[in-house]
Amino acid sequence: MPEPRIVILTAPSGAGKTTLARRLQEALPQLRFSVSATTRPPRPGERHGVDYYFLSEDEFRRLIEQGELIEYEEVYPGRFYGTLRREIEQASRDHPVLLDIDVKGALRVKELFGDEAFAIFVQPPSLEALAERLRNRGTEDDATLRQRLERARMELALADRFDAVVVNDDLERAAAETLRLVRSFLERP
């Protein structure tokens, strides 16, 4: 694979990865978003092949068996998410790839790619703010909201394992800091 460049945004659910990923893609159109596979059902407006590849559990397990996923996690009970090998194979100096994945997946990609990957942990201002953002987003029922907040405690404890931490309090400030970090990674020789 020719000199891959991989940018990873990782965080607990609701911290603002997707929001910051969109800002990054607007500012750096050469970044290609890596579309993950998942067994969770699509939310209103989400499109197969754009937001995720929405698969049955059997289809997902087949990808695992065929070695098509470079990492995968059962992020929530019965909800699998994984990074497709073919999405990463597009990564090069000219077309870096952007991943929006959970903390365990991000640690695995760092293990695999070392300094060719740059992982930013997006930190919410507090657990309370995280809960409020998830509630306001309106995508979770009470049970999945609880699961996401429970997992967030474990995820927040891993923040210092990543290359950089961006606190997503004020969105404009956080977006500018993320862009500065990513530009400087992409400019490295």
Ligand X SMILES: Nc1ncnc2c1ncn2[C@@H]1O[C@H](COP(=O)(O)OP(=O)(O)OP(=O)(O)O)[C@@H](O)[C@H]1O
Ligand Y SMILES: Nc1nc2c(ncn2[C@@H]2O[C@H](COP(=O)(O)O)[C@@H](O)[C@H]2O)c(=O)[nH]1
Binding residues: 11-18
Question: Closest Cα to residue 20, out of 8, 6, 3?
Answer: 8
40 binds, among ligand X, ligand Y, none (CB under 5 to 8 A by kind): ligand Y
Nearest residue (CB) to ligand Y, 92 versus 144: 144
| Measured distance CA(132)–CA(171) in Å, rounded | 15
Helix-helix angle 142-156:127-137, to 10 degrees: 150
Query: What does the per-residue mask of binding to ligand Y show for 81-100, with x meaning CB under 6 A?
Result: xxx----------------x
Residue 5 in contact with ligand Y, rule: CB under 6 A: no
| Site track 142-181 with ligand X (rule: CB under 6 A), x = hit | --------------------------x--x--x-------
- Which stretches of 8-141 are DSSP H helices? 17-27, 57-65, 85-88, 103-113, 127-137
Residue number closest to ligand Y, CB atom: 105
Is residue 135 a contact point for ligand X (CB under 6 A)? Answer: no
CA distance 53 to 38: 6
Residue 101 near ligand X by CB under 6 A:
no
